[in-house]
Structure 1
Amino acid sequence: MMRVLLTGASSFTGAWFAKALAGRGCEVIAPLRSRLDAGDADRRSRLARIAGACRLIEACPFGSECFLALIRASRPLDILCHHGAKAGDHRDPALDPLAATVAHTRAIERVLEALADAGCRTLLLTGTVFEADEGRSDGPLAAVGAYGLAKTLTWHVFRYHADRSGLTLGKFVIASPFGPCEKPGLVRQLVTAWLGREVPTLCRPQLVRDHLQVQLLAAAYARFAHDLPERSDGCHRLTPSQFAEPLDRFAARLADSLSPRLGLPCRFRCAAPPEAADEPLVRLGLDPLRELVSDLDPEAAWDGYARALLESGNQSD
């Protein structure tokens, strides 16, 4: 059985990644930065959903003495999947990119030494298309915001140490996932309005972004992580893409897919004129998701998403 050390399992995508890894037969050990009962209701709900799929270790942040002791106690390990990040909102103006990078890479040399003692020579880092030099754009691939800069710096620190140590390093670069238990953002704003029988306004319909069904994204992640230890030393990258289109077109796709499943009209309007954007017009993934997941079933993913929305709507009534 493949043994995986996964950080960031309490996040939206991290919880889905943990579940998908367990579904491939992996033993998933998931250290968390905070206690199990910390955070908002969304975080506690995500942890409750994956509690049976992995071993959750509370208050054990990356690079801490607890984290190093966990590596030693968990040997042998096959792969470190470092998905955890201090912030997931690339528009957060308060984020300090240098402080975030320090937190993401704390005691990395000691971590790599402990992993080597545990027989692990494979690292998988989660990236974002909002980093520098990632994804596709209509112009220079600069980092977008403090979050994009923090993730860029984190990647270069990991790559530097992986190269020096001769480790196999993977990078799984994600765009904008959506689905059950999603974090706050465009899709959640739309569906929350629709469940409340409201007509939301799309403020920046001109932006071209890449949205991915999280269930299918997680399947691609689990497959990539599972196969990575068998690859040769060096760097391996995957940047999935699914619905790469302007936001107004994606919102229409979302409405058309959910309306019959929710039994709601799911209408929206576009701001006229649209709000100006201080970020690139285009930022997309590269690798078609349909080519990464052999049993791709988008309709089943839509069904599961609609069921989750109806359940959450009933619970809030």
Structure 2
Amino acid sequence: MDFLKRQLSVNIGQTRLTCHEPLGPKTSLKIGGNALFFAEPDSESSLIQLLQNACKLPVFTLGRGSNLLVPDEGFAGLVISMNVPWLQTASVENDVIVVGAGLRLKELCGFATKNGIGGYTFMDGIPGSVGGALRMNAGAMGAAIGEKVLSVEALDRQDNKHVLDARQLHFEYRACRTLDDKIVLRARMAVLRESRETLEAQRAQFLEKRKQSQPVGASAGSTFKNPPGDYAGRLIEQAGLKGTCVGGAEVSQKHANFILNQNRASSRDVVSLVKHIKKTIVSTSNIALEPEILFLGHSWKDVL
């Protein structure tokens, strides 16, 4: 352990590096064990150096932790936080928004609104940051972040930098396979001018809609992707699963596609509930729902 920490610490400046860092509190679901190592890089060069120092150690980059289930046993590798100041930036350059991967979507929405730039109001209630949102093509209210992207700057595990334009990114519904094995640094996004008053009204409308339809509490957001032509929440509600509990995990009474951590739920509770929902919907609707949330260190195909 000490040897690994010394190896990771080489030439990383003022980067904060800790051992056995609790991950649960850093996620919106508030579940999970510790990271073997946890780093908050102080610069891009320190981030690149961390990747070099990590060698064969598993690496995961963590944003807001809003679409993530951390296993109870934690993560036996290096977790790199993207919630660092140098990645939480936004500017308009040559009529293009340049945004860092660590910026919250809510802050990107606010920045765009303040500058009279339309097309970002749907992001206001999505509890994530730009990097994670790009990797899963996050969306709401009939829009998705991939629609706004001009290009993305990212690193691979060999610390090579790539600049990928929209045509190379191949955004899909709640996925961007091109970015699965990459670390997003920043993105260039489209500008469409609209009045600030119009945008403020849209934000208020979307936030009210979210307030009326989505639960308050510890959750990872939508648990399952919507199947073609239908809604996961509708299928789960139709199957009578609202309020179903496994341990401390519960299917929300307000929106059936949300699983809430109601009483110190474990990751095992959540996985068991996901399995139960998936099995039930296959039985009642002959549809195999696909999880939307990421299970750190695991593939849902191997778990379900």
Q: TM-score, normalised by structure 1?
A: 0.28
Greater helix fraction, Structure 1 or Structure 2: 1
Higher relative contact order (CA 8 A, sep 6+): 1
TM normalised by structure 2 equals 0.29
Relative to total residues, which structure has the larger strand share, 1 or 2? 2
